[in-house]
Amino acid sequence: MKIYFCPECGSYDLGDGSVCGDCDEPIPTDSWADLTEEEIADLDYAYGFELPPGLPSWEYEVVRLEVVAEDDRQQYTMRLLNSMGDKGWELVSIGALGRNDDRHYGVFKRAWLEDF
């Protein structure tokens, strides 16, 4: 089942994926994943789970690392990392999401702020 993620508010949607149902922002065409029914149930549980006040919590973002030309790799990586850092994101891992996946992704985290 295809699920769409909104990069603006962090919400997800099982609909057509063109506009976020929570914040009405457009959803990028590459902001989706194929999930099983069990994975969606796990996501629903985590989405509705409330932490007690005062506990630290995190939000995560996964960004596909894609390079147009080999010569541009360093510049692209520096711009991406600086852009994410300027928004409060910290790079915690780089890797493939699946065993047979040759694409690499950067995993970022930042403190969850209720004002977002």
C-alpha span between 94 and 7 (Å, rounded): 19
CATH for 53-116, among 1.10.1660, 1.10.3470, 3.30.70, 3.30.1360? 3.30.70
Rounded to two decimals, what is the model's pTM? 0.50
pLDDT of the residue at 108: 93
Dig out the tokens for 40 from the structure.
């969606």
Report the chain (116 residues): mean pLDDT per 10 consecutive residues.
81 80 84 83 77 77 73 74 90 82 84 62
pLDDT of the residue at 21: 81
Length of the chain: 116
pLDDT of the residue at 116: 41
Domain ranges across the chain = 1-49, 53-116
Can you list the alpha helix ranges (DSSP code H) found in 23-106?
Answer: 37-48, 73-86
